[in-house]
A = this chain, B = another copy of it.
Amino acid sequence: MTDVARLAGVSHQTVSRVLNDHPNVREQTRRRVQAAIAELGYRPNRAARVLVTGMSQVIGVVAQSSALYGPVSILNALAHAALQHGFTVSVESVRALDPQSISDAIGRHRDQRVAGLVVIAPVESANEALDAIPDDVPLVTIDGDPRRTAGLVTVDQEAGAYAATRHLLDAGHQTVWHVSGPADWFDSQGRVAGWQRAVAEAGAEVPPVMQADWLASSGYRAGQILARMTEVTAVFAANDHLALGILRALHERGKRVPADISVVGFDDVPEAAYLIPPLTTIRPDFAAVAAASIDLILEQVRGGQRLSERRILTPALVERDSVAPPAG
Contact = CB atoms under 8 A, between A and B. Distances in A.
Contacts of A67: 69, 72-73, 76, 270
Nearest to A88: B108
Interface string A38-78: 00000111111011000010000000011101001100100
A95 B76 CA distance: 9
A191 interface: no
Given A65-B79, A79-B65, A274 B251 contact: no
Interface string A139-151: 0000000000000
Contact of A93 (B43, B46, B76, B245): B76
A69 B67 CA distance: 7
A313 to B, nearest CB: 19
Contacts of A93: 76, 79-80
A273 interface: yes
A270 B216 contact: yes
Interface string A225-254: 000000000000000010011011001000
Interface in A2-51: 43-48, 50-51
Contacts of A92: 79, 88
B274 A244 contact: yes
A166 interface: no
Nearest to A286: B67
A238 to B, nearest CB: 15
Interface in A255-302: 270-271, 273-276, 278
Given A215-B270, A275-B248, A65 B80 contact: yes
A186 interface: no
8 contacts: A47-B47, A47-B50, A47-B113, A67-B72, A80-B95, A219-B274, A251-B276, A276-B276
Given A79-B92, A217-B273, A244-B275, 8 more contacts: A46-B47, A47-B56, A47-B112, A65-B76, A65-B80, A76-B93, A80-B95, A220-B274
Q: Which 4 A/B pairs are nearest by Cβ-Cβ distance? A: A47-B50, A216-B274, A65-B76, A47-B51
